[in-house]
Amino acid sequence: MASKRKLRGDEAANSAPAVAVKEHREPLADIEMKAEILAGLIKGSKHFIVFTGAGTSTSAGIPDFRGPDGNWTLKAQGRPRTTHANTLSAVPTQAHMALVELQNRGVLKYLVSQNCDGLHGRSGIEAQNISELHGNNTREVCKSCGKEYIRDYRVSGSQPDHNDHRTGRRCVCGGILLDTIINFGEGLPEKELQLARDHANKADLCLVLGSSVSVTPACTIPEAVASTKNAKLVICNLQPTALDDDCNLRIFTEADILMTKVMEKLNYAIPPFELRRKLVRIETPVEDMHNITFKGLDADGTTPLSFIKAAGVEGCRRFARAEPFSLTLRRHLQPGHGELKLTIELFGHYDEPYLEIAHEYMGDEIVLYSLRYNPLVGEWDANQKEVESGMERLFDR
């Protein structure tokens, strides 16, 4: 049995024994029975939260830390890390997508994650429903105004010192942008941690997926649920955890296997992964010219998202290849009598083809497109949407 001593974030984050703690997998019949119990707990809960660790993403090709081929296990053995999937092109797992469906149905109230891979956000978990306690390798924040940006590329600090989080970019306010990754010895983000604690205090059910719950202070979230009267703690992990003696239901299996079974018991279908984006086109006629600017937003329309690599429009010889993506047509368009043929190039992490949109110009306007891309089909679905209330404030920032 592994030691259940809880470790400080800087002590546990990059440490593991040279011989990994043995993983255990229960018989499928036992998993079926426990999935039925968990489904019943979820149905009866009023404030259900989930706490995820690296084990949630291993089936996407992203290694964990303390498993037989985990990053810190290999480090303790003096071996190099294994080749693994690029987090930018990794496809969210069945467990990720099950959590999205539970969120969309209003069953999952909040998600707390220790993962930095960004898969929860890409899968469809909305920004207001998650605390990424250890950061996100595609999210950066302004040191001055606090504005956040999501990128379709890694935003790791550009400085040799890992504790210097400057990315080399600047906010629209002129402030310095910092990456959000929490390195060894650094404190967790106060806002995210407080939100996680608030939801833990309200939770009557917490499910731990793929975490050893041994690194503080993140582990205090499920710990708080375990210590709350009448609240239930369920843990799914292949290795023993620091809270095994305190949980109400312990399941030894992969996150995907458990969540697939639980969704079957709930009669909920797990949705396929679709890459979702929002594209804004701002048009401004100026005398005999026509200016077009493209901007990206995250799926819920709350945060600027840099997913455009280049943008073009028929009639303009050049492509815009840097933010802001602005193009000028040297002709005047009459509202209702001019079709604009747009071409958007993305970063192609999922082999996305160019996005092509034909749109009839209806005057000085802001146009919002909802974009969906299914990697299995390989085609874009672009639908024009009404500009949402309050979204205009994002266009000027």
Residues of each annotated binding site: 142, 145, 171, 173
Look at the alpha carbons of 27, 29, 31, 37 in this order and tell me if their dihedral is positive or negative.
negative
Q: Name the packing angle between helices 255-266 and 28-44 (round to 10°).
A: 60
C-alpha torsion sign, points 33, 35, 36, 40:
positive
Q: Which two tokens stand for residue 88?
A: 């930018």
- Helix (H/G/I), strand (E/B), else coil: 49: strand
User: What's the CA gap between 268 and 108, in Å, rounded?
Assistant: 13
**Which amino acids are annotated as binding site for Zn(2+), given as ranges?**
142, 145, 171, 173
Distance CA 16, CA 71 (A): 9
From first CA to last CA, the distance across the chain in angstroms is 54
Separation CA 25–CA 366 (nearest Å): 54
Residues contacting 72, CB < 8 A, separation 6+ = 13, 14, 15, 16, 65, 66
Using the 8-state DSSP alphabet, how is residue 14 labeled?
A: T
Tokens at 257, concatenated: 């296997």
Tell me how far apart the alpha carbons of residues 278 and 299 are, in angstroms, rounded to a whole number. 6
Q: Is 134 a catalytic residue?
A: yes
- Sheet of 308-313: strand order equals 308-313, 339-346, 355-360
Reference 313, options 299, 292, 330; nearest CA is 292
Q: Report in angstroms the alpha-carbon separations of 386 from 19, 174, 284, 355.
A: 57, 31, 18, 20
Residue in 24, 84, 120, 134 annotated catalytic: 134
Specify whether the CB–CB gap between 313 and 281 falls below 8 A: no
Residue 19 and residue 69 in contact, taking contact as beta carbons nearer than 8 Å: no
Q: Whole-angstrom Cα distance, residue 34 to residue 43? A: 14
Q: Identify whether the C-beta of residue 112 lies closer than 8 Å to the C-beta of residue 50.
A: yes
For the annotated catalytic residues, the residue numbers are 134
